[in-house]
Amino acid sequence: MSPLPLITAQTEEKLLAFLTEHGHTKFRAQQVLDWVWRKRVTTFDAMSNLPPALKNLLAEHFRFHTPEIVEIHGSADTTRKFLTKMEDGSLVESVIIPAAVAENGEKSERVTLCVSSQVGCAFGCKFCASGLLGLKRHLTTGEIIGQILSAETIAEKRVNNIVFMGMGEPLSNFDNLADALEIITSHRGLEIGARHITISTSGFVPGLKKLAAYPRQIRLAVSLHGATDEVRDQIMPVNKKWPLSQLIPVLEEWSRGRNQMPTLEYILIRDINDSPKDASHLVRIAKRLHAKVNLIPYNTVEGLPWKRPSEERCRSFRDAVHKARIPVTMRYEKGHDINAACGQLRLRKEQEKNGSTPR
Ligand code: SF4
């Protein structure tokens, strides 16, 4: 018998449909959501203003569950990476990134969580640890939300900024992602503004088409990492199926009607994509998309051949993009000392379990 659905995975619309089907009013749905998300109770019994029959109905059809936290790694820069165990034993990693100082120099209250959307990943980007073990399965809506609840337990603070940049290609798990987004952004849910949520994609065109039609103002980051098909084909297999000639038009479609710039994420890898010519190709795409660029010097992954370019090479790449008047930042991955590149912690744990080494 499959376990009952999680109450924390119900959008307002779904809960309302369930309750009206059982003869209850919209008001009752609001009360239940208030208990779950404002008062954060973890039993139906604790919902003291509900009639006993309704508490019983809820307990017969739903349950509470938060994933077990199996490892927490703190780092010198206060980034914390943690591993949670799902009910089927799958390991999922997430990263809490507190921002100490806001852009105006004042102390920031921002708590960012980098969330995973799948167990492993089918997309096999050549520089990424998550792709090394392939895709095991999609995460459910409840498991996506569970990472946020676990993070809040660890941080002892509410998460108020979410980036879907952990394990997996979020847009290939669109239905569960869309329900999670509803719960995250709803004022009867986690109530995090859509503009504080970023979806990162490797360039999965069918998912991007769905996102272009999605009404909320979610931010978009595209893991470009190469500005020609030649480079992207080498490091990102997704490009063979959906080359730049398909990716760029769908990004333009996403931008239409939105007052937002997409971010082009670009991991700088020595002798692969770090030449002045690469910079000029990147500038051309960024101009066409009115995008900003985020450069990330490569974070070494054990077992993979790629290397980080020298500081000087990274700086001159950034300067070339900047000179072309493209907004550009260079971000060193926080938590470099705790395997914070996506998938590394889970990869190490799986290897310990199997007694194997990375390929
Ligand atoms: S970078 Fe993202 S899409 Fe590519 S293999 Fe890693 S998790 Fe998957």
Predicted pLDDT of residue 77: 60
CA of 49 from ligand 1 middle (Å) equals: 45
Whether residue 56 is found in the same domain as residue 73:
no
CA of 260 from ligand 1 middle (Å) equals: 24
Whether residue 17 is found in the same domain as residue 148:
no
Whether residue 202 is found in the same domain as residue 342:
yes
Catalytic residue among 12, 93, 152, 169: 93
Q: Which of 38, 61, 84 is the last residue of a domain?
A: 61
Instruction: Work out the pLDDT band at 229, boundaries 50, 70, 90.
Output: very high
Whether residue 223 is found in the same domain as residue 171:
yes
Ligand 1 pocket mutation, candidates 94, 118, 128, 235, criterion most atoms within 8 A of CB:
128
Whether residue 43 is found in the same domain as residue 180:
no
Domain of 39, in residue numbers? 7-61
pLDDT per residue as tens digits for the range 117-136: 999 999 999 888 777 778 99
Q: With a 6 A CB cut-off, is 128 part of the ligand 1 pocket?
A: yes
- 93 noted as active-site residue: yes
**Is residue 272 situated within a structural domain?**
yes
CA of 35 from ligand 1 middle (Å) equals: 36
Instruction: Work out the pLDDT band at 338, boundaries 50, 70, 90.
Output: very low
Residue 345 has pLDDT above 70, yes or no: no
Question: What number of CA atoms fall less than 13 Å from residue 311's CA on the CB side?
Answer: 0
Whether residue 94 is found in the same domain as residue 206:
yes
**Is residue 324 situated within a structural domain?**
yes
Whether residue 130 is found in the same domain as residue 57:
no
Instruction: Work out the pLDDT band at 357, boundaries 50, 70, 90.
Output: very low
Ligand 1 pocket mutation, candidates 125, 127, 138, criterion most atoms within 8 A of CB:
125
Q: How far apart are CA 352 and CA 58, in angstroms?
A: 40
Whether residue 90 is found in the same domain as residue 42:
no
- Cβ neighbours for 23, distance < 8 A, ≥ 6 positions apart: none
Instruction: Work out the pLDDT band at 350, boundaries 50, 70, 90.
Output: low
Using a pLDDT cut of 70, give the percent of the chain over it: 89
Predicted pLDDT of residue 104: 63
Instruction: Work out the pLDDT band at 351, boundaries 50, 70, 90.
Output: low
Instruction: Work out the pLDDT band at 339, boundaries 50, 70, 90.
Output: very low
Predicted pLDDT of residue 318: 98
pLDDT per residue as tens digits for the range 237-254: 999 999 999 999 999 999
CATH number at residue 17: 1.10.150.530
**Is residue 118 situated within a structural domain?**
yes
**Is residue 250 situated within a structural domain?**
yes
* Angle, vertex CA 77, rays to CA 71 and CA 79, nearest 5: 35
Least confident of 51-60, 89-98, 331-340: 331-340
pLDDT per residue as tens digits for the range 286-319: 999 999 999 999 987 777 788 999 999 999 999 9
CA of 276 from ligand 1 middle (Å) equals: 26
Whether residue 41 is found in the same domain as residue 99:
no
Q: Which atom of ligand 1 lies at the shortest distance from residue 223's CA? A: 1
Q: Which residues pair with 96 in a beta bridge?
A: 80, 113
* Count: domains in the chain: 2
